[in-house]
Amino acid sequence: MNRQNIVQLHDGAVLAFEEYGDPSGVPVIFCHGWPSSRTMAQLADEPARALGVRIISPDRPGISGSSMQLDRKLSDWPSLVEQLVDNLEIGEFRILAISGGAPYAYATAVAIPERVRAIAIVGGVIPFAELKDFKGLLPLYRHMLAFYRNRPRLLRQLFCLARPFLSFRAPIRLRPLLLKMLLLRPCDAASLRDDAAFEAIFESQRRAWRGSVEGVLVDARIYAEPWGFAIEDVRVPVRLWHGIEDRAFAVRLAEEIANRFPNCKARFIQDEGHYSLPIRHMREILEDLISI
């Protein structure tokens, strides 16, 4: 980890971010997953240093160190990214998005394609509002979407109840038990036995929950709503990476999305899941992204 920074936005709010990798390297904006925060980008630190990549990882509004914006929409995000890169005196940049970071990468590419050289999506969320059914989604996501549509107040109450447990830092001796309780794919469980990977994934989640329930809830709500653009509108080069063993979003859903981009190269990786893919293949993903 290098340092936490704060950018003051035009409306007086702040955007917190951290940098990883090579400070003078090729700039890549990192879009963290859900529920997660800026420190998830620790996954990219070591390979980014080796490859000469500068990782800039912001918290989304209401997450960890960034100001709350209760009524925000996905379309608000590109302006925040542009203010961030302007502050850092960066012109063109690339984007790396993990899981729930995907729609934020797409929205930025649609809004300011002249500045986004290319994007890499790893285990990316798909447009839930376009789905006819929720088959192919993690059961937890199916339940959350049902609650959001039918009992939104109950969903908020459940988030409030969950916060104390999800903010808790499990002792190292309890990590094997936690991994068993999560019912992960064997490939995901194996990759998370690495202490650095475990910390990057779960500490970033704890930071999000400690920040506020509302921030996590607003972030979740955005996935359930129409994104405001079509996948076909993303015209910059897209590199889509997806594990064939991914339980969060079935590989067939990723294949359908990949076929809709005007300029996409997709890689579906055998024996990798939602967590193991970015943990085990980060160098390969970054190397490919900066080659575009």
Q: What is the pLDDT of residues 227-286, one digit of tens each?
A: 999 999 999 999 999 999 999 999 999 999 999 999 999 999 999 999 999 999 999 999
In terms of Cα–Cα distance, which of 210, 211, 220 is closest to 72? 220
With beta carbons less than 8 A apart as the criterion, state whether 134 and 142 touch: yes
Task: State residue 211's pLDDT score.
Answer: 85
Task: State residue 21's pLDDT score.
Answer: 98
Distance from C-alpha of 244 to C-alpha of 203, rounded to nearest angstrom: 26
With beta carbons less than 8 A apart as the criterion, state whether 99 and 242 touch: no
Summarised one tens digit per residue, pLDDT across range 181-199 is: 676 899 999 999 998 998 8
In terms of Cα–Cα distance, which of 248, 257, 249, 187 is closest to 227? 257
Whole-number percent of the chain with pLDDT over 90:
85
Examine the pLDDT at 208 and tell me if it is beyond 60.
yes
Please report, for residues 75, 177, 233, 236, the alpha-carbon distance to residue 229 in angstroms, rounded to integers and kept in the order given: 9, 42, 7, 14
Phi–psi pair at 123, nearest 5 degrees:
60, 40
Task: State residue 4's pLDDT score.
Answer: 59
pTM value?
Answer: 0.95
Beta pairing partners, 179: none
* Angle between helix 152-166 and helix 213-224 axes, rounded to 10 deg: 130
The alpha-carbon radius of gyration of the chain (Å, integer) is 18
